[in-house]
């Protein structure tokens, strides 16, 4: 089943922690990190996921995701390209009904904190919290697949 993903990504420039409603630890790797056709394996707490993402057209791109057993995700992670992503995802509800996903990276990407918001359309309005910094939507350096090859510590 195909899905559309419309998201915008921003750097975090302030303290969001007082607004967090939940958090998860995420370990992920890429079976393929080729631009326009990434295949990701993710372990999020005690659940596994396999995700295929297509090329972006504006802010929209194809995304297909399927939950898989955690044990299968752990096995698949062993076959991923070098450079796994390790991050904590904080969920921050917004007054307008959206939920910000704030990713705090660890390991080679420590110090990088980005916030993403998923939208129903490319022109959908949303509230910008005070802790939100510069927009980096479309900047490939901030794609998780890019951070596996060129981690934040090397910038």
Average pLDDT value for residue range 19-32 = 98
Q: Which domain holds residue 24?
A: 3-154
pTM of the model: 0.94
Joined tokens for residue 64:
């297909």
Average pLDDT value for residue range 96-117 = 98
Q: Dump pLDDT digits (tens) for 56-86.
A: 888 899 999 999 999 999 999 999 999 999 9
**CATH code: domain of residue 61:** 2.40.320.10
pLDDT (0 to 100) of residue 36: 86
Count up the domains in the chain and report the number. 1
Distance from C-alpha of 50 to C-alpha of 52, rounded to nearest angstrom: 7
The answer to whether the CB of 116 falls within 8 A of the CB of 7 is yes
Q: Is the pLDDT of residue 1 over 60?
A: no
The answer to whether the CB of 16 falls within 8 A of the CB of 31 is no
Handedness of CA 74, 63, 59, 32 (dihedral sign): positive
């Amino acid at each position: 089943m195909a899905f559309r993903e419309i998201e915008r990504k921003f750097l975090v420039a302030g303290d969001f922690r007082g607004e967090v409603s939940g958090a998860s630890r995420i370990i992920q790797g890429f079976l393929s990190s080729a631009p326009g056709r990434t295949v990701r394996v993710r372990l999020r707490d005690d659940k596994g996921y396999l995700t295929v993402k297509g090329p972006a057209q504006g802010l929209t791109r194809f995304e297909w995701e399927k939950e898989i057993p955690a044990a299968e995700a752990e096995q698949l992670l062993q076959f991923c390209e070098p450079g796994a992503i390790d991050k904590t995802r904080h969920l921050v509800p917004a007054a307008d009904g959206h939920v910000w996903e704030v990713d705090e990276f660890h390991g080679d990407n420590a110090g990088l904190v980005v916030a993403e918001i998923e939208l129903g359309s490319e022109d959908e309005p949303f509230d910008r919290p005070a802790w939100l910094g510069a927009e980096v939507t479309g900047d490939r350096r901030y794609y998780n697949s890019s951070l596996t090859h060129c981690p934040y510590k090397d910038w």
